Structure 1
Amino acid sequence: MRAILVERFGGPDVLRLRDVPLSQPKSGEVLVRINSAGVGPWDVAQRQGRFGTELPYIPGFECAGTVVGKTGDNAGFHDGEPVYGYIGMGGTYADYAACRPERLAPVPMALALWEAGAAPVDLLTADAGINDALAVRRGQSVLVTAAAGGLGHLAAQLAVHAGAHVVATAGRDHHSFVHKLGVAEVVDHYDEDWPQRVRDLTSGGVDAALSTVTPTTDGAIAATRDGGTVATPAPGGEVPAGRRVQLLRYQGPMDGRRLARLAQVLDDGSVALCVSARFDLEDAPAAHSQVEQGHTWGKVVLSVNDD
């Protein structure tokens, strides 16, 4: 099968298209013929050697495709069923990948296979941040930073869906896009005084904040009122002495049951996945370059097989 293989850590040029043996599912796993695979900052970090992954490896944490084979009686999906999910730390930049079925879910009706592969990691992380860590409630004021990005644009929509008054940050080039997500206000996080701008818009600070990237965490803390909460899946950030703000670090549970539940907000139109760029499998280096440079909106996806 075709696969992108990383044989040494480094820049995007280390992503090479190779012919490798077909993935073989273990007992209880399913084999997925991959249609699309999401590209995120975690893929870049792994390629740079920051996860200590053993070489060589096939990149890709998330995908969408069709089940083409399974073993065991509890695989949970039938052959030919469209699925999407998080398969683990690598393996989706390929024609096929083996995966544990509990990490997969049926593809929502709202998503085409070519785009669904870009959803799982950020959708699960956004849901865990907004609905678990922050437990956002109707009427609260909520800040979502870098709201044009893969995680941010989904988190902002989930907060709006929960009934919050949402303030978001984004670069000026992306303000129009972020406004269309339903947020009340957008501020430029490249302005040094953006946390004060958020405080002014919310009468002294937001009740809760989701910092989606490390560079915005200290600002999110500054923009949150005393007694409020900041959640982030990213490292970095510290609550200054004298501030009564709770800083929560969390990881999204990467399970198929949650993905299946989230189909409702996708199918009823409350949340939309936005894909800004689509690359063929052999163009994975270009996809990584775009994600690594930052300043993108929505998600970047690889097209692997067209079903």
Structure 2
Amino acid sequence: MKAAQFSRFGGPEVLEIVDLPDPRPGPGEVRIAVRAAGVNASDWKKRQGLMDQELPQTLGYEVAGIVDELGEGVSDVAVGDRVFGFCADAAAQAELAVLPHYAPIPPSLDFAAAAALPVAVETAARALDQLGVQRGETLLVNGASGVVGRAAVQLAVARGARVIGTGSPGSHDLLRSLGAEPVAYGDGLAQRVGALSPGGVDRALDIAGSGVLPELIKLAGGPQHVVTVADFAGAQEHGVRFSRGDTGRALYTLGEIGGLIESGQFSVPIGKTFPLAAIAEAHRAGETGQVRGKIVLLAG
């Protein structure tokens, strides 16, 4: 099969499309013919040598396609079904991928839209779970207009929470459409949030990693009510929980998100698609911030 790979660390130019052996599914897994795979910041961090140090490396965690082989014991899907989910061994950006965690693609979605779901919904749901967000509470989402931020807003609203979301002025109409009350980020954030919620907020989620953890702690009444997915150093400094996948993942969201999508309560924006062969161009677009919304590679 064709797959994206790099054999040395560096810029997008180190990415190659190479021939690799076809993967085979193990017990409880399915193999799919890949139709689309999401691109995330973790991909270019890996490529730069900021994460795993082994070489060579393949890329990609989230993927959508058509089931073409079943592992032992799989009975909930059949060959030919459309599924999306998380790929084993970070090798989703390829012609074939093995999925240990998967769910049927919601009927209204194409492959690109389905491939954009797993990381955003799992990250957002995991953070909301760790915060313990409940109906009737007020949640502040810092960085609400990005892909994960939008997911967090929509999931929190679906849980019955009141959501205040930070974003640039140009994003405020979007945030209102998602059910959030928008505020501008930057100096004076605490005062602007206080004007909307004089008693502060019950919980705060930092998606942007923009150095505002002290303000979030103050607004939420202590570090125990704040979670960040973006500011590891700040979390250590201020005693805030840093949410990461290796401490437990909200995989149940794969099976539940379809209901929200089909009822019009959830979506992930597609910013731009690239063919698999143009993966270097996709990385450049992601790293330079040229694309608003999810970047997705198309294969097949």
TM-score (normalizing by structure 2):
0.88
Q: Note the 1:162-201 alignment, pairs <5 A.
A: 162-187=159-184, 189=185, 191-201=186-196
Aligned equivalent of 1:40: 40
Change (3 A) 1:45 1:220: farther
Structure 2's unaligned 5+ residue stretches are none
Match of 2:113 among 108, 112, 115: 115
Q: Deviations over 1:116-164 (max 9, x none)?
A: 111101101111222x112222332211111121211100111122222
Is the CA contact (8 Å cut-off) linking 1:83 and 1:105 kept in structure 2?
yes
Partner of 2:58: 58
Contact 1:149–1:298, Cα closer than 8 Å, also in 2: yes
CA contact (8 A) 2:217 2:226 kept: no
Q: Aligned to 2:119, what secondary structure does the other structure show? A: helix
Instruction: Give 1:97-116 correspondences, 5 Å limit.
Output: 97-100=97-100, 103-116=101-114
Pair 1:34–1:170, CA change in 2 (3 A) = same
Q: Percent identity?
A: 32
- Matched-pair contact (CA < 8 Å) for 1:121–1:254: no
SS at 1:237 equivalent? helix
- Superposed displacement of residue 267, structure 1: 1.8
For structure 1, the residue ranges without an aligned partner over 5 or more in a row are: none
Indicate whether 1:265 and 2:260 are aligned: yes
Specify the SS of the correspondent of 2:126: helix
Distance in 2 (alpha carbons) for counterparts of 1:88 and 1:222: 37
The alpha-carbon distance between structure 1 residues 122 and 89, as it changes in their structure 2 partners (threshold 3 A), is farther
Letter in 2 for 1:206: V
Contact residue 156 and residue 183 of structure 1 kept, 8 A: yes
Aligned mates of 1:34, 1:279 — CA distance in 2: 14
The question of whether the paired residues in 2 share the 8 Å contact of 1:35 and 1:65 is answered with yes
Of 236, 244, 264, which residue of structure 2 is paired with 1:251?
A: 244
Code of the residue aligned with 1:184 in structure 2: it is E
User: What corresponds to 1:229 in structure 2?
Assistant: 225
**SS of equivalent to 1:43:** helix
Is 1:214 aligned with 2:209? yes
SS in 2 for 1:74: coil
Distance in 1, matches of 2:209 and 2:216, equals: 12
Name the CA distance, whole Å, in 2 between partners of 1:264 and 1:24: 31
Task: Find the residue that maps to 1:144 and give its secondary structure.
Answer: strand
- Structure 1 SS opposite 2:202: strand
Find the counterpart in structure 2 of residue 68 from structure 1. Answer: 68
State the alpha-carbon separation in 1 of the partners of residues 226 and 148 from structure 2: 16
**Deviation per CA, 1:10-55, whole angstroms, max 9, x where unpaired?**
1122222223332233454321111111111111221111222421
Distance, in Å, in 2 between the alignment partners of 1:75 and 1:43 is 32
Amino acid in structure 1 at the alignment position of 2:242: R
What is residue 277 of structure 2 aligned with on the other side?
Answer: 282
| Rounded Cα–Cα distance in structure 2 between residues aligned with 1:238 and 1:21 | 41
Distance between the aligned counterparts of 1:27 and 1:167, measured in 2?
Answer: 44
Q: Answer yes or no: is the 8 Å Cα contact 2:228–2:235 preserved in 1.
A: no
Q: How far, CA to CA, are the matches of 2:71 and 2:93 in structure 1?
A: 22
Q: Report the Cα offset of residue 250 of structure 1.
A: 2.6
Q: Which residue of 2 aligns with 1:22?
A: 22
